[in-house]
Amino acid sequence: MLINWYPGHMAKTKRQLQEQISRCDLILELCDARLPFSSRNPDLEKLIQGKKSVLLLNKSDLADADLTREWIRSFTEQGIRAFPCSAQSGKSKSILRVIDDASREFVEKALAKGVRKVVRAMIVGVPNVGKSTLINQIHGSSVARTGDRPGVTKANQWVTVSPYLQLMDSPGMLWPRLDDQTAARRLCYIGSIKDDVVDLPMLTIELLQELMEICPQAVSERFRIRDFSLRGESLLQEVCKGRGFLLKGGLFDYDRCCQVVLDEFRAGRCGRITLEKPDTSSLKEDTHVEKQQDGPCS
């Protein structure tokens, strides 16, 4: 399966991002804590040109906590200010503290000149990573539209959080990790690339295969897979049989099967799973899974 995930407007996208960045004091980069490598913009460091930035590993409630700590350590070692974040958790105070810390230097510089500076922070990240949710969390009400699919935010929007803090919500951009089909596939798993540009049965098979290597127990319980050696289409058929996704005449209901597998993975129903490790950016063996309290099956 080849995913044509980057539409080819690379120069335009970069230019727009650069323009927006130039109007901001601070960049809040959001990546998905389950994919801290594939969901980051490889060009951002160059584009922000020395501007203050903070990396937030969002949806950390869905990621393995030990691996999130490893990622934070690894980013910190590279000189990147990185913090775990769960935009849905209601802990906006800690995020505001991170913003305050990151902007202190230039706020104090301006203050020394008698100016009380308004901090303008831009939230950057791939679609569906939680940018609008984070803004709502910090603002304390639903000022930005959110939704569990890419493309909900249509245009840039400035949100005034306080007289001295403004945040910019943006539609989110996919980054050109050219030829990186693994990254593309993983961005599909987490819903950053629209489902309708991919072959869903193929994507679901790939996800199930990846999960069966990472956390066979949790995944087989969740999707009622009795034979751990199954791969390819047989895996899909096993899930259809186990979960009762059957049509009249005993035909397999692949549409429903794919939607349920993807939805449940995205909602963390198979447990807290991180797909990438700091050094290798790929997790095949020696992986970590934390089950959610409500158990793997419903």
Ligand X SMILES: Nc1nc2c(ncn2[C@@H]2O[C@H](COP(=O)(O)OP(=O)(O)O)[C@@H](O)[C@H]2O)c(=O)[nH]1
Contact call for residues 46 and 52 (beta carbons, < 8 A): no
SS3 sequence of 109-161 = HHHHCCCCCCEEEEEECCCCCCHHHHHHHHHCCCCCCCCCCCCCCCCCEEEEE
14-22, Cβ contacts within 8 angstroms, sequence gap of 24 or more? 14/43, 14/47, 17/47, 17/124, 17/173, 18/47, 20/122, 20/156, 20/168, 20/170, 21/47, 21/48, 21/49, 21/51, 21/122
- CA 112 to centroid of chain Cα atoms: 39
Residues numbered 4-23 forming contacts with ligand X, rule: CB under 6 A: none
Residue listed under structure tokens 């869905």: 62
63 near ligand X (CB under 6 A): no
Contact window for ligand X (CB under 6 A) among 56-64, 179-187, 241-249, 280-288: 56-64
- Alpha-carbon distance 21 to 34, whole Å? 26
Q: Which of Mg ion, ligand X, none lies near 220, with the C-beta cut-off 5 to 8 A by kind? A: none
Distance in Å from the first CA to the final CA of the chain: 31
Give min distance, CB of 150 to ligand X, in A. 6
**Structure token digits, residue 112:** 């020394």
Should residue 61 be labelled a site residue for ligand X when binding is judged by CB under 6 A? Answer: yes
Place of tokens 């130039």: 22
Shortest distance, position 137 Cβ to Mg ion, whole Å? 13
Q: Is 147 in the site for ligand X (CB under 6 A)?
A: yes
Shortest distance in whole angstroms from residue 153 CB to ligand X: 5
Q: Which of 3, 29, 168, 172 binds ligand X (CB under 6 A)?
A: 172
Cβ closer to ligand X: 105 or 148?
Answer: 148
Which residues sit at the interface with Mg ion, rule CB under 5 A? Answer: 131-132, 153
Return the one option of Mg ion, ligand X, none that residue 103 interacts with (CB less than 5 to 8 A, by type): none
Which among ligand X, Mg ion, none contacts residue 237 (Cβ within 5 to 8 A by kind)? none
SS3 57: strand
Task: Tell me which amino acid residue 215 is.
Answer: C
**Among ligand X, Mg ion, none, residue 185 binds (CB under 5-8 Å by kind):** none
Among residue numbers 74 through 133, which ones bind ligand X (CB under 6 A)?
A: 86-88, 125, 127-133
Does 271 contact ligand X by CB under 6 A?
A: no
Alpha helices in 155-253 (DSSP H): 181-189, 200-214, 216-223, 233-243
Instruction: For residues 232 and 202, give the distance between their C-alpha atoms in angstroms, rounded to a whole number.
Output: 8
Position among 146, 204, 220, 274 found at the interface with ligand X (CB under 6 A): 146
Q: In whole angstroms, how close is the CB of 146 to Mg ion at the nearest point?
A: 6
Number of residues that bind ligand X (CB under 6 A): 21
147 binds, options ligand X, Mg ion, none, Cβ within 5 to 8 A by partner type: ligand X
Q: How far is the CB of 104 from ligand X (least distance, A)?
A: 26
Minimum separation from the CB atom of position 130 to ligand X (A): 3
| Interacting residue ranges for ligand X, rule: CB under 6 A | 58-59, 61-62, 86-88, 125, 127-133, 146-148, 152-153, 172
